[in-house]
Amino acid sequence: MKNSAPIRVFLVEDSLVALTILKRILASSLEVDVVGTAPNGVEALERIPAAQPQVICTDLHMPKMDGLELTRRIMADYPRPILVISTSVNTQEDSRNVFKLLQAGALDVFPKPSIESLSDYEHVKHELINRIKVLAGVTVFTRHTSRTATVEPRTHPVSPKSKPEEFNLKPVSNSQFPIRNSPSLPKVVAIGASTGGPQALYTILKQLPANFPVPIVCVQHISEGFLQGLVDWLAAECFLRVMIAQPGEFPKPGTVYFAPERQHLQLDTQGRLITISTPPVSGHRPSVTVLFQAVATCYPRSAVGILLTGMGRDGADGLQAIAQAGGTTIAQDEQTCVVFGMPKEAIALGAAQHILAISEIAPMLLNRICYINSKHS
């Protein structure tokens, strides 16, 4: 970035204090240039065309037009990478609404800096500027509000409005996703994701039935304070149970378990969930690699590992561990990743047996896992 023009950023924030803090943080970097501000969505839409920002940062709650409607309008008329900067994680409703912005096209969430948070100014500055740098390299496309952002399942089509609790899991054709060497009955699905992960997880989990026959364990890199909101949003949108993992619990079929904030998620020798506070791996705690390695040890030949969009290389070594243990491994393809970092590293290692578009992952799980379970029932 040293020899290139600074990233053009537009800030939409109705709090003068928060706006001042954000401008101070971004002004401290030669890599970022604030090219405009607005106190609400209405004024933002008037000013964005002339400002031509590369990244837009918006709050959720604002007068006249909130962040959700603004995101929808931007993605329909002036598609740009959008970073949600919000403190709205105190109530379940607000937590879900933050993630509705991601569903509408925003790419990431970040906690709104406050006077109190400036005690850790350098950390906040580094994290915010790094998020903006990542998003500045993302290409986004126009989203018309009349279109659905989800992909309906090809194997078991269902109207989203009916929300049935179960699908009829009969054997289905597996010609599109062949089963290699009659693998062992899958007992767990492990998923890792970072930037763009909430949207990718939504696309996968929305297509799976409540009676999905194995548990799902996940690590999602996300700013502290937003995990519960992600869980609440996915739980409200999907048929599966979604929760934060509790130590000592045996994972149950039809349930999605997320690693807690600041804790690695593992499995003990009996298959129970455990959390540990050992140092970060690949700069992350929770780490995808830590979870994947534990799954490979606990469920050799009977685990499915899925590595989704995200920056860096967390999860690449873990996906390789699952592959080497005889499990099934999937990496999201470049075309559908928000950031093709983690999957790219896994593919370079030869750890990914399947490289799939995000819309193809749930159908593969339904074909592979539900087909094999039906054969064994």
Active site residues: 194, 221, 314
Would you say 259 and 291 are in contact if contact means Cβ atoms under 8 Å apart? yes
Reading the block at residue 249, the tokens are 């619990």
| Residue 331, phi then psi, degrees to nearest 5 | -120, 140
Distances (CA, A) of 194 to 33, 219, 222, 223, 299: 26, 8, 7, 10, 24
d(CA 327, CA 319): 9
Would you say 332 and 358 are in contact if contact means Cβ atoms under 8 Å apart? yes
Reading the block at residue 28, the tokens are 């401290």
d(CA 191, CA 330): 9
Would you say 290 and 321 are in contact if contact means Cβ atoms under 8 Å apart? no
Would you say 292 and 319 are in contact if contact means Cβ atoms under 8 Å apart? yes
Cis amide leading into 286 (omega within 30)? yes
